[in-house]
Amino acid sequence: MGNVSAVDIGIDVGSTTTKICALDALSRNLLHTSYERHGARQAESVRAALNSLARLFPRASIRLALTGSGAAPIADKLGVPFVQEVVANACAVQALYPRTRCAIELGGQDAKMIYFDNGIEQRMNGTCAGGTGAFIDEIASVLNLPIEQFDAAACRGRTVYDISGRCGVYAKTDIQPLLNQGASRDDLALSAFHAIAKQTLGGLAQGIDVCPPIIFEGGPLTFNPTLISVFKERLNLADDQAIVPDHPETMVARGAALSLSSMFADAPATIDPAAAAQTLVGFTSADDDHAPGKPFFETAAERKAFARRNQLPE
């Protein structure tokens, strides 16, 4: 990779993960992808990504575009283009899989359906993380299953129970009695996937026909192939009507990279990744509400003094 002369890079800063896609600027060939949980430290994750890219492409001319729910203030700080994530996704889908009529994308805390029949039309869950990666994490916790084993458990499931996909709290209320009655964790994991598919199709399609070919994208669909099988079953899709792209978890980042040769072809986007990383030292965006706050007590002595002042009467 050190021999590449020019690289276009897209970074997708989502609610729970940061995704990177690097393309050869001339051939458009894929050079590198990365998918990492950022632990709510979005700017820090981008800084780490830039340092990594500086090592991967030490002699290349690099252009950068950012996308994703947490990317706009970081892009502004770096002085590089920001592309809205649905537009980035459309760039990638239309360039790589032009026969697609609908995209189903599940993220860490949002779900989207994008239609390509008459221009681009989007549906997104705007108020709740039901039916997303966070929902899977929550159900895995209830079932006491490591998240890495959730898909395998669902694949073994045979019985589908009616579980709410609209809200994790409602889902827990449905699941706990079933556990008490002896329902297997495998069946409940499979039922959770059916709940996600039902919530996505019922909540986002909003009466619009979901016509194949359909592309499946995002981390939850990448790492849970059984969930794709559930969608195919509910939509009655043949294998050739379901598109699972290479690296579906980084499709939006790839779209951001592709946008550099189309919508941002004349925009200033060239960076020195190491210098750009330095720019983000200590930076926290307005969306990064997990930035460390002032502690309640600076020392153990302060805490003890507080406890003495506020102790309950005997």
pLDDT digits (tens, 9 = 90+) for 248-293: 999 999 999 999 999 999 999 999 999 999 999 999 875 544 445 5
Segment 58-67 shows an average pLDDT of: 97
Kindly give, in sequence order, each residue whose CB lies less than 8 Å from that of residue 223, ignoring residues fewer than 6 positions away.
Answer: 151, 249
**Contact (CB, 8 A) for 23 and 7:** yes
pLDDT value at 50 more than 60: yes
What share of the chain in percent tops pLDDT 90?
73
Residue 3 has pLDDT above 90, yes or no: no
CB distance 21 to 246 below 8 Å? no
Which pLDDT score, from 0 to 100, does residue 28 have? 95
Confidence of residue 314 (pLDDT cuts 50, 70, 90): low
**What's the chain's average pLDDT?**
91
pLDDT-based confidence at residue 302 (cuts at 50, 70, 90): confident
The answer, yes or no, to whether residue 148 has pLDDT greater than 70, is yes
**Stronger pLDDT, 307 or 116, i.e. the higher one:** 116
Higher per-residue pLDDT: 10 or 129: 10
- State what percent of residues in the chain have pLDDT above 70: 94
| Cβ atoms 130, 174 nearer than 8 A | no
Question: pLDDT at position 125, please?
Answer: 77
* Residues 222-234: tens digit of each pLDDT: 999 999 999 999 9
Burial pattern 8-28, b for ≥16 Cβ within 10 A else e, equals bbbbbbbbbbbbbbbbbbeee
Q: How far apart are CA 118 and CA 99, in angstroms?
A: 13
Span of 66-80, 176-190, 298-312 with lowest mean pLDDT = 298-312
Q: For position 289, what pLDDT does the model report?
A: 46
- 300 three-state secondary structure: helix
Highest mean pLDDT among 12-16, 61-65, 124-128: 61-65
